[in-house]
Chains A and B, each alone.
Chain A
């Protein structure tokens, strides 16, 4: 993990977290980083760039948790129009 210089505004946010959550700076930084990564990963999942299992692996959580968090944010990364068409076609052929 690279070392990063934190700009003053983010440093202020970090200090706020330290005060409000009663944690040390390292914990606060880790928590904020995780929050940012979680947002990023869920965005990728929502856009269909990564799968459900991949999102769970990246965030070290369960697939159930990913589905719950996505639902809470209104993220429903379901199929494209073409994928819907193909799915229906296959269902028609097989079932």
Chain B
């Protein structure tokens, strides 16, 4: 099973699709305690529905929460970088610590750091498109549309086209 680390951005966007359970059952998904705090603990404080959905996944073991040590590779990359918060920083450390396959995020600032350092990443939209073979095309299309408020229109159109078999734009 593919081992993916999610940051808060990636996790919340997958939750927005409404297919968080389906997606996270097909991959081995983990988050850090910092991401749990950002998405679940703080989210519940303001009664965000996504926070409760994510909490259910943690409670039933679909989503693993890991305490993370500072990895040497992570420290090298993150030194003197002030653009990232604790969620992203901890996700990067977890990626190295667990030798994960990729990080799931759509956060431009974080992706820039990953890109510079050849750390593989998958955006939630692309994850959903690729997993449509497991989840079902119809469901994935619905999920993509639910993510619409958080994804650029062009990317959403491209993803929908891909799913509908008209090819990549």
* A→B interface (CB under 8 Å): 45, 48-57, 62-65, 67, 71, 76-80, 82-84, 86-88, 90-92, 94-95
With A62-B48, A78-B151, A78-B152: A52-B8 Cβ-Cβ less than 8 Å: yes
Q: Does B77 contact A (CB under 8 A)?
A: no
Count of residues in B whose CB is under 8 Å from the partner chain: 49
> A95: which B residues are within 8 A, CB to CB?
2, 27, 122, 127, 130-131
Q: Between A and B, how many residue pairs show CB distances below 8 Å?
A: 135
Name B83-105 residues within 8 Å CB distance of A.
83-89, 101-102
Main SS at interface, chain B: helix
Q: Which of B20-48 contact A (CB under 8 A)?
A: 27, 34, 38-39, 42-43, 45-46, 48
Contact (Cβ within 8 A) A53 B85: yes
Known: A63-B12, A76-B152. 4 other contacts (CB 8 A): A51-B109, A64-B46, A80-B111, A94-B102
